[in-house]
């Protein structure tokens, strides 16, 4: 008997089947995932950004070879998928990653069938199961906080000179001295916040820095990035050849896998070896090169967001923010803070009041009264002519 796959849209039970799309990296999979596909991933502790990207692609189901909620911390991704009505088969086992793209998949009694043959067993997560797992994860959060503190001290030992003295920051041709810098990461609410910052970008003309896929986010918002920083694993070729200066984030030993891809496109990049994340590198670079103000879009701010990113190295972002200090302004939540709440009837009422106030002001003067009388006569003539035509 097949599982009844329900959602807020009350899906038909036969919608639990579709062609497989397989990738170990969720952010790579979402670039080619289409509505009606079955997403097959290997993603322990699905984070919020990955879940929102999956939901936007509208797959009929998500099959996770790993545990979607390991219990280390209360990650937000599984709840987002389940609330969106997308069936999530959890801990289906490593064998599912051997499924070839395009294979017909179907969920049946918690089993995954490929062309009618079982290829993996798992647990179909329900809303209640997710909530129970999240409660247990919150209870064990203290251990993750301790690990986060240890990682923070480890990063401080490794990058003391970079953090305190700027040793190792490369020279770039982009002029940031005395200017604003807008750093864009494809994180929470980046689209809404970029839209709200449109007038700021037009007025202040900040240096636009895209962190990996953040460069494509800028282009999608009809802006041209001045600089692209990252390991170049999630940015498009179009962005890399847009004319922006490319800064490849390398490992501390100088190994930079992204360099080959950039050079193959005919672009000569700057290499920045550093521990930590690419958003840290972008902030440190902007700060070292004299940016007056750094506005961050989509970056990580809270402890849960750091953990939700799923990297022990996220402790570096905490210290980087301390290093940059007061010149760093987070745009996160700007769209929610300033979202318009005025209804259409209210706008109409305001216009009527404004017209009435203007009329009263004109009527209080001799010239204004004469103008209103002339306008009234013109309207009366127009109404009479219109009545004659219709009659």
Closest CA to 279 of 296, 264, 257, 263: 296
363 pLDDT exceeds 80? no
Residue 276 pLDDT greater than 50, yes or no: yes
Pair of tokens at residue 351: 């216009």
pLDDT confidence of residue 312:
54
| pLDDT tops 60 at residue 14 | no
- What is the pLDDT, as a whole number, of residue 7? 38
E-strand ranges in 30-140 read 38-41, 61-64, 88-90, 104-108, 111-114, 117-121, 123-124
Residue 345, pLDDT > 80, answer no
Cross-strand pairs, 120: 112
Phi, psi of 297, rounded to the nearest 5 degrees: -120, 125
Distance CA 41, CA 33 (A): 11
Report residue 50 as tokens: 């990955």
What is the reported pLDDT for 391?
58
Residue that wins the pLDDT comparison between 315 and 49:
49
Question: Residue 250's beta-bridge partner residues?
Answer: 273
Average pLDDT over residues 230-252: 93
* Architecture per CATH, 13-137: 3-Layer(bba) Sandwich (3.50)
- Band (pLDDT 50/70/90 cuts) for residue 342 is low
* pLDDT of the residue at 295: 93
Strand order in the sheet with 17-22: 117-121, 111-114, 104-108, 17-22, 38-41, 61-64, 88-90, 123-124
Instruction: Encode pLDDT of 175-227 as tens digits.
Output: 999 999 999 998 878 888 898 899 899 989 999 999 999 999 999 999 999 99
Bridge partners (DSSP) listed for residue 241: none
Model confidence pTM above 0.75: no
Longest Cα–Cα distance of the chain, Å, equals 90
Q: Which of 18-32, 83-97, 137-151, 164-178 is least confident?
A: 137-151
For the chain, the straight-line distance linking the first and the last C-alpha, in angstroms and rounded, comes to: 71
In this prediction, residue 120 carries a pLDDT of: 78
| Whole-number Å distance between alpha carbons of 150 and 148 | 5
- pLDDT for the residue numbered 344: 62
């Amino acid at each position: 008997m097949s599982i009844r796959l329900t959602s807020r849209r009350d899906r038909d039970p036969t919608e639990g089947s579709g062609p497989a799309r397989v990738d170990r990296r969720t952010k790579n999979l979402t670039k080619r995932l289409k509505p009606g596909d079955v997403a097959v991933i290997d993603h322990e502790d699905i984070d919020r950004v990955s879940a929102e990207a999956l939901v936007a692609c509208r797959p009929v189901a998500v099959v996770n070879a790993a545990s979607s909620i390991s219990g280390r911390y209360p990650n937000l991704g599984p709840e987002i998928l389940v609330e969106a009505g997308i069936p999530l088969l959890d801990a289906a086992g490593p064998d599912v990653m051997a499924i070839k793209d395009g294979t017909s998949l179907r969920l049946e009694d918690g089993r995954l069938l490929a062309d009618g043959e079982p290829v993996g067993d798992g647990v179909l997560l329900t809303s209640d199961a997710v909530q129970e797992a999240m409660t247990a994860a919150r209870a064990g959060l203290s251990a993750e906080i301790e690990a986060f503190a240890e990682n923070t001290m480890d990063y401080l030992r490794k990058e003391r000179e970079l953090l305190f003295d700027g040793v190792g920051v490369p020279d770039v041709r982009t002029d940031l001295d005395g200017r604003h810098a807008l750093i864009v990461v494809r994180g929470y609410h980046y689209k809404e916040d970029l839209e709200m910052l449109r007038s700021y970008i037009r007025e202040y003309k900040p240096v636009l820095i895209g962190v990996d896929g953040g460069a494509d986010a800028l282009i999608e918002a009809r802006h041209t990035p001045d600089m692209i920083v990252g390991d170049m694993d999630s940015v498009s070729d179009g962005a890399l050849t847009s004319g922006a200066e490319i800064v490849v984030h390398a490992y501390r030993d100088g190994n930079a896998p992204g360099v080959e891809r950039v050079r193959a496109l005919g672009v000569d990049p700057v290499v920045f070896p550093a521990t930590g994340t690419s958003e840290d590198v972008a902030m440190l670079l902007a700060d070292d090169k004299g940016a007056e103000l750094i506005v961050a879009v989509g970056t990580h701010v809270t402890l849960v967001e750091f953990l939700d990113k799923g990297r022990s190295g996220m402790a570096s972002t905490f210290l980087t923010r301390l290093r940059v200090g007061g010149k760093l302004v987070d745009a996160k939540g700007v769209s929610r803070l300033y979202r318009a709440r005025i209804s259409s009837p209210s706008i109409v009422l305001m216009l009527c009041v404004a017209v009435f106030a203007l009329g009263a002001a004109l009527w209080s003067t001799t010239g204004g009264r004469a103008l209103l009388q002339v306008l009234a006569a013109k309207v009366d003539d127009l109404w009479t002519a219109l009545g004659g035509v219709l009659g």
